[in-house]
Chains A and B, each alone.
Chain A
Amino acid sequence: MDWIMTVDHKKIAILYLWAGGLFFGIGGIEALLIRWQLIKPMNDFVDAQTFNELITMHGTTMIFLGVMPIIFALMNAVIPLQIGARDVAFPFLNALGFWTFLFGGLLLNLSWMMGGAPDAGWTSYTPLSGTAYSGTHGVDFYTIGLQIAGLGTLIGGINFLATIITMRAPGMSFMRMPMFAWTTFITSAIILFAFPAITVGLVLLTFDRILGANFFVPGGGGSPVLWQHIFWIFGHPEVYILILPAFGIISEVIPTFARKRLFGYSSMVFATILIAFLGFMVWAHHMFTTGLGPVANALFAVSTMLIAVPTGIKIFNWLFTLWGGSVRFATPNLFASGFIPTFTMGGVTGVMLASAPADFQFHDTYFVVAHFHYVIVGGLVMGLFAGLHYWWPKMFGRMLSETLGKWTFWTFITGFHLTFFVQHFLGLMGMQRRVFTYLPNQHFDLLNLVSTIGAGLMGAGMLLFLANVWITSRKPMDAGGDPWEDGRTLEWSIPSPPPEYNFKQTPLVRGLDAFWKEKMAGNKGMTPAEPIGSIHMPSATPLPFIMSVGIFIAGLGFMFSRDQFVSGFVSFLFNNYIVTALGLLITFGAMLVRSLYDDHGWHIEPEELEGR
């Protein structure tokens, strides 16, 4: 009950981590099944339809339900602490964002048990995702599940923007803000401007499928290419929603373990902003082979390649931070250092793909698969590992085992390169993506075997991480406030795990790397910016949970509104939108309750603070 009603950002972070971890596991199992099917030519482990469902759900789950929530977990755990705040700007909305994400994800995954998963690829290209080619409810689960989950993401994005704009501690100007806070800020801005586009795309696809609209149906005058534009005007910025937080994590971890301030801090900030801006300008590079014409292709090719410039600035700044530092390779820094070359390789193949004529050759081959897995797994997942190992003691008060952590790193990175490095060559040799099997003796056999073995190793790396978490959780709390001893930012100036009010007194920030600055000046902790006083806390509430259940029911009701059920009564309920209305009634009822009863919260009094 405590967990269902919480509005504390640190607990919501842990909820995001559990839920995101669960979906990440499901997506990982789907990946292993895909690799098992491709281990040898003409394999019949799964059939073509199941394979389509597996690749669709693997991509969708990993991106929307796996890595994004884990990013949100780290943001929730760290951002208020890094900027010296007691919570996010809207604790209630924070909880609501989590629950809508969870129920959207559950709805999407219900599809496995309710007559077929989405099968049109994670991009759901029309007309493949129309009712003519995708007859099950799979794509409906995709459109409605993602819609609900996307609502949560949008709420979270607005919340972080408001939090970072208004809740920074005294003295923390924007140019004194830690890089992870900066990337969270920019990521949230991208979410705000990219997610409404996919919201519309999903609505239009839903209308096509359920109400018989003609947006993407050529026979009715619609345009399948329109879907691609809408999808990628969201989808390309989405790539930066994923990778910028990883950049932020790396920019926190490397200075800590190199014991040097981040090289070129202000250039890092502007590179981040520039990447976000350019990220919106390049969506059509996913559509070179659609037939947009040479002028459009050339423009989008050039603007895409431009992104390599700010990204290159970042890579070199990290290298210059390490250069001459007294570097300690603790597990977080191992992952961060491993991130740099791996991500760079993904970036280089990105520039190759940005060249429109070359893309005609690479398109829809395993070269593309290799490229984006280098960016998303070799970049983002490595960054998440770095961040999780780095902030684990802050979140849970326990140090993860260094020995197991290093084993995790070496197993994972070996498995990663085995899996995806060879896929570049498979792609160049012409192996197509999204195809459920291949013929023998085309030189695909050995490399696919290697790739599958690598996937197994990556899975083993994940298990080692889980073992680490399990073993650690059974030990007593052992982490001090500054467990890495070289913490630079505000979160390390308070106990681990932090008390529910975070800061007994709001700290006064006197420079970049505020805590490091105080330590170098010989101070034990931060200088407070206010006297000890009573602290206002928001009350716990079940309303966000109830509202999300309502949306979940409404989504299911709408999805099955045209179906006939065995029981006439059930059909009656669905066909007349009674189930939908009931769900919406629950949600709006909860909203009404929320607005009628003002939440005055409660206070923690100074005596209580001193008692600890």
Chain B
Amino acid sequence: MTTTHAESVHSGLPHEPEKATAEGRNKVLAFWLFLGGEAVLFGTLFATFLALRNQTNEGPAANDLFHLPLVAAATFLLLVSSLTSVFAIQAMHRNRPALLRNWLLITVVLGLGFLGLEIYEFSEYVRHEEFGMTTSAFSSAFYTLVGFHGAHVAFGILWISLLIGQLAYKGLTAVTAPKIYVSAMYWHFIDVVWVFIFTVVYLLGKVG
């Protein structure tokens, strides 16, 4: 275990613990690469959505469905959760595990709020608008793109929750730090994808 960065005097934990070990550095690098692949994944889903977004098959169209206030609220929750995950990483860099845990908890709660709004939105469409997976090519593309993002959010919530548990169990070390750092990268990525969904799916659906 080589530590290249300056050690904090009072704690024994290196300054950037996620990059303190070769394994940690590899993990962060590989996760950047993985996010490159994820970008292609969502890029393909966006392309599919753009190709099919007007193919409503006499079912509801985007303009009939979307309620921007609801979507704006969801967007707000997710953007703030990205900010709180930044605070979490800052707390990690200052080696304050309790603060780190609290910011991660807030991130998870905000993520759950977003997910709850999305589930509510989908169920409204299915129950009151007769807009399901099989309605039209537009509906298939909508549920697949937005649902894929939602599944990513759900996975992120599960992941960060387990990391919070691990943090309590093992503490903040050079082994757990890269995992937390990488999960924060993932959370930002989800956020960036949502900005595109908000623009391409919802705003364009309302005005485009």
Contact = CB atoms under 8 A, between A and B. Distances in A.
Contacts of B25: 166
Given A90-B26, A158-B34, A220 B57 contact: yes
A212 B143 CA distance: 13
Interface in A196-226: 196-197, 199-201, 203-204, 207-208, 211-215, 217, 220-223, 226
B36 interface: yes
Nearest to A166: B26
Interface in A58-116: 89-90
A222 B44 contact: no
B37 A204 contact: no
Contact of A595 (B22, B45, B134, B166): B166
Interface string B131-165: 00111111111001000000000000000001000
A161 interface: yes
Given A192-B37, A213-B140, A595 B162 contact: yes
B44 A193 contact: no
B33 A200 contact: no
Interface residues of A, number: 40
B122 to A, nearest CB: 14
A154 B30 CA distance: 12
Contacts of B26: 89-90, 162, 166
Contact of B52 (A165, A166, A221): A221
B161 to A, nearest CB: 12
A592 interface: yes
Contact of A596 (B47, B141, B166): B166
Contacts of A165: 29
A366 B88 CA distance: 61
Interface residues of B, number: 37
A211 B33 contact: no
Nearest to B139: A214
B75 interface: no
A208 B136 CA distance: 11
A200 B56 contact: no
B133 A207 contact: yes
Main secondary structure of the interface of A (DSSP, over half): helix
Contacts of B52: 215, 221-223, 226
Contacts of A610: none
A213 B55 CA distance: 13
A195 interface: yes
B175 interface: yes
A200 B166 CA distance: 33
B37 A226 contact: no
B205 to A, nearest CB: 16
A215 B41 contact: no
B130 interface: no
A207 B45 contact: no
A161 B35 CA distance: 13
A193 B39 CA distance: 9
A221 B144 contact: no
A597 to B, nearest CB: 11
Interface in B3-47: 22, 25-26, 29-30, 33-34, 36-38, 40-41, 44-45, 47
B48 interface: yes
Contact of A200 (B29, B48, B175): B48
B188 interface: no
A226 B166 CA distance: 44
B144 A204 contact: yes
10 contacts: A158-B33, A166-B25, A197-B44, A203-B144, A204-B144, A211-B133, A213-B134, A221-B55, A222-B137, A222-B140
Nearest 6 CB-CB pairings of A with B: A221-B55, A221-B137, A213-B140, A196-B41, A196-B40, A200-B44
Interface of B: 22, 25-26, 29-30, 33-34, 36-38, 40-41, 44-45, 47-48, 51-52, 55-57, 133-141, 144, 162, 166, 169-170, 175, 179
Given A196-B37, A215-B52, 10 more contacts: A90-B30, A158-B33, A158-B34, A196-B44, A200-B45, A207-B144, A214-B55, A214-B135, A221-B52, A595-B166
